[in-house]
């Protein structure tokens, strides 16, 4: 009965019936293709957010839609009580793409991070010999790993934490990029160090050169696992299959998500060492929808797209172009990031990021604000001409 609502009607229905944990811009989108979305009035918008990197391959990529459609006609869900014909190939192909040995499929990025934490603790008790109940995870300040109760327990963002306690114990926080502070936080009960190779929600923060290699060495010297949260940074976003690849560093476990589902459905996974993930035994961990046939079919199509290296190359080349163009703009104080992933800090502080995002919306560009900065992460299918369109819209807004 709501098929003929106006855009204003749709927003009113959301305000009446939806939890108010988001504050969307006032646009009602109905279609998407490539790097563009269209609203109910038929106006097109350049997407410079890409679903927080879940849409790395753009909206409705033909290969991903075809994989989903074909699987939809065959089998959608079995539960892990049975085998299905997409599961094994998905695990093998994802492991081969990422250079890892074992895969634990899940659904959301936060679920992948939670699963990695459970694996790390289990490994600490079973292999390292940490006393039962004493395992600790060292994390970075200004981290973002999801919204579950355990994950916000080690957030340093008051907005994410306040009002949600009591919190899960067993975490130590060290400032991001400070190897000495990290070294001081690691002790005999440390199971793992959990880091984002590039911090997304903190402002697309790239750590100091050599820091991630020092983290790897510290973990090796201390008998500690290195867990990399590559939910946003992974799968070509930064110009490499994994952001750690830029530093020539390998983690023991990776949390993957977002782009793994091709913008079609939630797909995530923990990938890494077989001797670490292998501590799990039947009955100790599970997920009804994790590794379902639809997810595996789409995930396999994503892996095929990444296996060519085309999207990694596009992100490297177009990312350099995007960041150079943004840095030239009057009114931009700083641009930081890697690949097609940038944080743009606006000079002066006169207008909020929300106001600038709203002004960009009026010019046909969709972007996300964070305080006085904008986060720019377009689909990797974007072209130079489309980048120019977005940058010129921002230039006009800042003029």
144 is catalytic: yes
Q: Which of 171, 245, 258, 311 is catalytic?
A: 258
Rg (CA), the chain: 21
Q: Using 50, 70 and 90 to split pLDDT, how confident is the model at 3?
A: confident
Is the pLDDT at 1 greater than 70? The verdict is: no
For residue 258, indicate whether it is catalytic: yes
Span 160-172, pLDDT tens digits = 999 999 999 999 9
Average pLDDT taken over every residue of the chain: 97
Same fold, 7-49+310-398 and 62-307: no
| Given the residues 47, 122, 229, 252, the one annotated as active site | 229
Q: What is the pLDDT of residue 253?
A: 99
Angle at 94 between CA 146 and CA 301, to 5 degrees: 95
CB 364 within 8 A of CB 44: yes
Q: What is the pLDDT of residue 349?
A: 67
**Over residues 187-204, mean pLDDT:** 97
pLDDT confidence tier of residue 351, bands split at 50, 70 and 90: confident
Domain range annotation of the chain: 7-49+310-398, 62-307
Q: With 90 as the cut, is the pLDDT of residue 371 above it?
A: no
Q: What integer is the mean pLDDT of 177-182?
A: 98
CB 334 within 8 A of CB 372: no
pTM of the model: 0.97
Percent above pLDDT 70 for the chain: 99
Rounded distance between C-alpha atoms, residue 194 and residue 367, angstroms: 29
What's the number of CA atoms in the CB half-sphere (13 Å) around residue 394?
Answer: 29
> Thinking of the domain 7-49+310-398, which architecture would CATH place it in?
Alpha-Beta Complex (3.90)
Annotated active-site residue in 87, 144, 154, 311: 144
- CA distances (Å), 340 to each of 51, 59, 264, 319, 370, in order? 13, 16, 21, 4, 17
Q: Are 117 and 194 a contacting pair, CB within 8 Å?
A: yes
Task: In whole angstroms, give the CA distance from residue 397 to residue 363.
Answer: 9
How does pLDDT run across 90-102, given as a tens digit for each residue? Answer: 999 999 999 999 9
Is 2 a residue whose pLDDT tops 70?
Answer: no
pLDDT at 246: 98
| Mean pLDDT within 348-372 | 89
CATH class of 62-307: alpha beta
Residue 167 bears catalytic tag: no
Mean per-residue pLDDT, 198-219: 97
Give whole-number Cα distances, 29 to 37, 197, 261, 368, in Å: 7, 32, 20, 15
The pLDDT of 269-283, averaged and rounded, is: 98
**Averaged over 219-234, what is the pLDDT?**
98
The answer to whether 67 and 297 have CB atoms below 8 angstroms apart is yes
pLDDT band at 353 (very low <50, low <70, confident <90, very high): confident
State the Cα angle at 35 between 108 and 96, rounded to 5°. Answer: 45
The string of pLDDT tens digits covering residues 26-78 is: 999 999 999 999 999 999 999 999 999 999 999 999 999 999 999 999 999 99
Q: What is the mean pLDDT of residues 258-281?
A: 98
């Amino acid at each position: 009965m709501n098929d003929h609502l106006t855009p204003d009607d749709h927003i009113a229905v959301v305000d009446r019936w939806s939890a108010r944990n988001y504050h969307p811009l006032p646009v009602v989108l109905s279609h998407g293709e490539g790097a563009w979305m269209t609203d109910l009035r038929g106006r097109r918008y350049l997407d410079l957010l890409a679903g927080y990197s879940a849409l790395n391959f753009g909206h409705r990529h033909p290969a991903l839609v075809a994989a989903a459609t074909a699987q939809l006609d065959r089998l959608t869900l079995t539960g892990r009580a049975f085998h299905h014909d997409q599961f094994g190939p998905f695990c093998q192909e994802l492991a081969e793409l990422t250079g890892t040995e074992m895969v634990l499929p899940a659904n959301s990025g936060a679920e992948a991070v939670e699963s990695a934490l459970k694996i790390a603790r289990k490994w600490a008790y079973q292999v390292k010999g940490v006393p039962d109940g004493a395992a600790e995870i060292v994390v970075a300040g200004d981290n973002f790993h999801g919204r579950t109760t355990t994950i916000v327990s080690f957030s340093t963002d008051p907005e994410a934490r306040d009002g949600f306690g009591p919190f899960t114990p067993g975490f130590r926080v060290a400032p991001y990029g400070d190897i000495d502070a990290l070294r001081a936080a690691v002790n005999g009960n440390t199971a793992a160090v959990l880091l984002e190779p590039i911090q997304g929600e903190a402002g697309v923060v790239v750590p100091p050169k050599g820091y991630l290699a020092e983290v790897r060495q510290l973990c090796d010297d201390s008998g500690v696992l290195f867990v990399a949260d590559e939910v946003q940074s992974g799968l070509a976003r930064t110009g490499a299959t994994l952001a750690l690849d830029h530093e020539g560093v390998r983690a023991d476990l990776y949390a993957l998500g977002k782009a793994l589902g091709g913008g079609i459905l939630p797909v995530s996974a923990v990938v890494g060492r077989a001797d670490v993930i292998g501590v799990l035994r039947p009955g100790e961990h599970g997920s009804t929808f994790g590794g379902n046939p639809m997810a595996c079919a789409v995930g396999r199509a994503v892996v095929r797209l990444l296996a060519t290296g085309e999207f990694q190359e596009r992100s490297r080349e177009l990312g350099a172009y995007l960041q150079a163009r943004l840095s030239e703009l009057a009114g931009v104080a700083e641009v930081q990031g890697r690949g097609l992933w940038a944080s743009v800090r606006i000079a002066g502080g006169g207008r909020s990021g929300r106001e600038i995002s709203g002004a960009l919306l009026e010019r046909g560009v969709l972007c996300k604000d964070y305080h006085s900065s904008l986060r720019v992460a377009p689909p990797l299918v974007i072209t130079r001409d489309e980048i120019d369109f977005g940058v010129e819209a921002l230039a006009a807004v800042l003029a």
